[in-house]
Amino acid sequence: MSHDAITVIRAKRDGGTLTPDQIDWIIDAYTRGEVADEQMSALAMAILLNGMDRAEIARWTAAMIASGERMDFSSLPLPTTDKHSTGGVGDKITLPLAPLVAACGAAVPQLSGRGLGHTGGTLDKLESVPGWRARLSNDEMLAVLREAGAVICAAGDGLAPADRKLYALRDVTGTVESIPLIASSIMSKKIAEGTGALVLDVKVGSGAFMKTEADARELAETMVGLGTDHGVRTVALLTDMSTPLGLTAGNALEVRESVEVLAGGGPADVVELTLALAREMLDAAGLTDADPARALADGTAMDHWRRMIRAQGGDPDAPLPVARERQVLTAPASGTLRRLDAYAVGVAAWRLGAGRARKEDPVQAGAGIELHAKPGQRVVAGQPLLTLHTDTPERFPAALQALAGDAIEVSDAESAAETVPATILDRIA
């Protein structure tokens, strides 16, 4: 049966359901360049406005997987399990989590991305470690998994090329927010990656992609359904992103904090979420007797971190980059810190040089923000609240502007501490 792009666009424009043949054809034709960008843009907008049902999303995801290669870790003697976060501010969880889960007996093939806008990227963070390499061939990736039990690297060009092409298009056409397109984008890469089990960390709140719990829940349920439909054991946690995770936002700053967690310390919320996700990943991999808390305490997780960094060319003992300039923002009043908005902190860190506006922009390894208090804690007027780090001090005014207004709120009301949300909001399986 012959197809044409206009018929497919009209079908979705008019609220219809795309047939499996139409989906297979348009993804393949777009990947090969037969369907033009402007035609795929029109279809993406129609999907954004009219949605897709579960069968359509599953077929769309399958077609994107089929556009490239599928990785195979069956030669490893260990079960494979992976985690994906929808992204947030200060979300450095992958860094301690991958070696921790490896220390408990699973193999963790973690394909990660770069930051864009106010959300940080795992690869940017790790590249602040001298010598560390994000780009590995499939053979190198397998070798690191055998050596360290965990690998964190960039997805190869052969993995879901349709997604890479479509993602770039969505970014410039106002169609990023479509839940079917977000879910199929994430899951096509994760399923093609070949992991046996997957845990999703779906963020909710101002610093997250999904601002409301209803949207986050819909995305989580869609992705869990996709994983299940493709034979990957999948579970999701809904987690709070109204305030930054941990006490740092920025590349080298977050690596330093991650190493503190691996050394048995670190901020309570980072440790709590790392352990919760580790338990979910181990459970999904069938390793129900493993104790991730012990692996953090006894140093085995740190051993796996050091092996993983070395296996990817990095020096785990090298000093991390430090920004040349810093500026302190003090508490505006005495009382309980009621609000420290994650989005505002993320934008400020981005403006300091920790993030990028376009994919090709460089980032500063040392730039970012340190938090000296979290919501729910008492502060005194004039005490340091945030320290801003950058190599380029002319960036300070724009970063401070992002933190103005209602981004920071101090209240002397006794009930202020009750407004602090839990880190983990729900579990969806």
Task: Look up 203 and say whether it is catalytic.
Answer: no
Q: Point out the catalytic residue in the list 12, 59, 83, 84.
A: 84
Active-site pick, 92, 170, 233, 279: 170
Q: Is 163 a catalytic residue?
A: yes
- Report the distance separating Cα 385 and Cα 363, nearest Å: 24
User: Distance between CA 357 and CA 119 in Å, rounded?
Assistant: 11
Please answer whether residues 45 and 13 qualify as being in contact, where contact means their C-beta atoms are separated by less than 8 angstroms.
Answer: no
User: In 143-267, at which residue ranges do the beta strands (DSSP E only) sit?
Assistant: 150-154, 197-204, 233-240, 248-250
Burial (Cβ within 10 Å: 0-12, 13-18, ≥19) of residue 173:
middle
- Contact of 31 with 1, CB cutoff 8 Å: no
- Provide CB contacts within 8 A for 159, sequence distance 6+: 68, 69, 71, 111, 189, 192, 193
**Candidates 59, 114, 189, 233; catalytic one:** 189
**Active-site residue, 372 included:** no
- Residue that is written with structure tokens 């220390």 in the block: 103
Contact by Cβ (8 Å): 110, 148: no
321: Cβ–Cβ under 8 A, 6 or more apart, which residues? 128, 252, 365, 366
137 is catalytic: no
DSSP per residue over 105-117, as a string?
T-BEEEEE---BT
The whole-angstrom separation of Cα 321 and Cα 25 is 48
By the 8 A CB rule, do 410 and 373 touch?
A: no
- Determine which one of 67, 178, 185, 188 is catalytic: 185
Is 170 an active-site residue?
yes
Catalytic residue among 91, 124, 163, 341: 163
Residue 120, SS3 per DSSP: coil
Which of 232, 143, 135 has its CA nearest to residue 193?
Answer: 232
- Contact yes or no for 386/326 (Cβ under 8 A): no
Q: Which residues are catalytic?
A: 84, 163, 170, 185, 189
